[in-house]
Amino acid sequence: MKTFSTVPGKERSRDVACNLCLSNHYKTLLRSADFLFVKCSSCGLIYQNPQPFFADLKERYTTDYFKYEFNNEENFFGLMKLGLKDIGMDQLKPENGRGCFLDIGCATGKLMEDMRGRGWQVQGVDLCRKSAEYGWKKRKVRIFAGTLEQAAFQSGSFNIIHSSHLIEHVPDPRAFIREIKRILLPGGQAIITTPNISGFQARLFRKKWRSAIGDHLTLFSVSTLKRLLREEGFKVLKIRTWGGLAAGTAPLIIKKPADYLAKKFGFGDVMLFLVEK
Ligand SMILES: [Zn+2]
């Protein structure tokens, strides 16, 4: 089954250059009624082209998106914790009892609440205003409703920045990564999780892959995301991928070894990067 995606209404769109290398040369890769993914002929980045204007795009993240996040709150939180556990950070406490944690694309703030419980000062950012309001009402966690750039945090504000399943939605991933670097403290760490188009499922399912959807503007591979992070001056500490076959696509006797192998050899369906400033 595909990931939730909005059905775009009347959006204006435009041609965009490759976000990684600025080339305008590409080949059509995946086409459906909802999207057209191209592959940069120069660096191999896979992105949607054309792309909607941001003023139109942001309208996708309203009521229906809130419902999706709200209904899947526990599920997504569980997955995030598993990812963090994999890199030994699921029970992380701030050094000397003080530390600032930012969750970008925090939805209803469940992870923020968890981190606050271990002594972190927490801040969130989410484009969906309803999610931000719900987070404050239910958990008293502060969530800025808008983009990371609009939040305009001071340089060097955070020890840890977490962003799960967000970078594939943003129109300018390079600017996004650059902003994360700016607002991290020196030595601070960022955790970025996103679907892996170099994974086994993406290769198998092509345009039917669950993460090939209209809301995902860029589909990174391990190598294209690594390149972006390194070019923006991050040191890559850990890369993990997981998920060999989605639940329901194969019997357990096949799914279990597929999951094991995907993780071991780095062709899992989702990838996580831990990087340091
Ligand atoms: Zn390129």
- The DSSP result for 241-257, as a single string, is EE-SS-TTSS-HHHHHH
Residue 7's pLDDT band (cuts 50, 70, 90): low
The domain spans of the chain are 69-276
- For residues 12 and 21, what is the distance between their CA atoms, to the nearest angstrom? 24
What pLDDT is stored for residue 266 in this prediction? 78
Query: Residue 259 is which amino acid?
Result: D
Summarised one tens digit per residue, pLDDT across range 206-264 is: 998 989 998 999 999 999 999 999 999 999 999 999 887 777 777 888 888 878 887 77
How far apart (Å, rounded) are the C-alpha atoms in residues 260 and 273? 19
pLDDT, one tens digit per residue, over 164-207 is 999 999 999 999 999 999 999 999 999 999 999 999 889 888 99
Q: Find the range with the poorest average confidence among 2-11, 103-112, 210-219.
A: 2-11
CA distance to 19, 46, 272, per residue, from 25 (Å) = 12, 12, 29
Through-space distance between the first and last CA atoms of the chain, rounded to whole angstroms: 37
**Mean pLDDT confidence for 138-163:** 97
Residue 68 CA to residue 140 CA, distance in Å, equals: 21
- Going from the Cα of 26 to the center of ligand 1, the distance in angstroms, rounded, reads 8
H/E run at residue 122: strand 121-126
Pick from 13, 48, 55: nearest CA to 28: 48
> What would the mean pLDDT of 133-149 be, rounded to a whole number?
96
Phi, psi of 107 (to 5 degrees): 55, -120
Query: How many angstroms does the Cα of residue 48 sit away from the middle of ligand 1?
Result: 12
Comparing 212 with 266, the larger pLDDT belongs to 212
pLDDT class for 65, splitting at 50, 70, 90?
confident
Query: Crossing angle of helices 173-183/222-231, nearest 10°?
Result: 50
Distance 47 CA to ligand 1 centre (A): 9
Q: What is the mean pLDDT of residues 37-65?
A: 90
Please tell me the distance between residue 239's alpha carbon and the centre of ligand 1 in angstroms. 22
Reduced to 3 states, what is the DSSP secondary structure of residue 13?
strand
Query: By percentage, how much of the chain surpasses pLDDT 70?
Result: 99
Tokens of 255: 């799914």
Q: Which amino acid is it at 171?
A: P
Q: What is the largest CA-CA distance in the chain?
A: 53
Ligand 1 centroid – CA 91 distance (Å):
38
Separation CA 253–CA 251 (nearest Å): 5
Q: Which of the four pLDDT bands, split at 50, 70 and 90, describes residue 9? A: low
**Average pLDDT over the chain, rounded to whole?**
92
Residue 137: pLDDT band (50, 70, 90) is: very high
CA–CA distance, 218 with 174 (Å, rounded to integer): 11
Residue 127 banded pLDDT, cuts 50, 70, 90: very high
Ligand 1 center–CA 175 separation, angstroms: 15
pLDDT digits (tens, 9 = 90+) for 85-96: 999 999 999 998
Written as one string, the DSSP assignment of 131-169 is HHHHHHHHH---EEES-HHHH-PPTT-EEEEEEES-GGG
Find the 203 Cα to ligand 1 centroid distance in Å.
20
Ligand 1 centroid to Cα of residue 21, in Å, is 4
pLDDT greater at residue 259 or residue 273: 273
Domain 69-276: top CATH class: alpha beta
Name the residue with tokens 């780095």: 266
Tokens of 38: 């191209």
Helix/strand/coil percent split, the chain, to 5: 35, 25, 40
Amino acid at site 271: M
Separation of alpha carbons 65 and 128, rounded Å: 8
Q: Residue 165 has what pLDDT?
A: 95
The mean pLDDT of 45-60, rounded to a whole number, is: 89
> How confident is the model at residue 261, as a pLDDT?
80
Q: What is residue 217's three-state secondary structure?
A: coil
pLDDT at 87: 93
- For 143-154, how does the pLDDT look when each residue is reduced to its tens digit (9 = 90+)? 999 999 999 999
**Residue 42: exposure state from Cβ atoms within 10 A (0-12, 13-18, ≥19):** middle
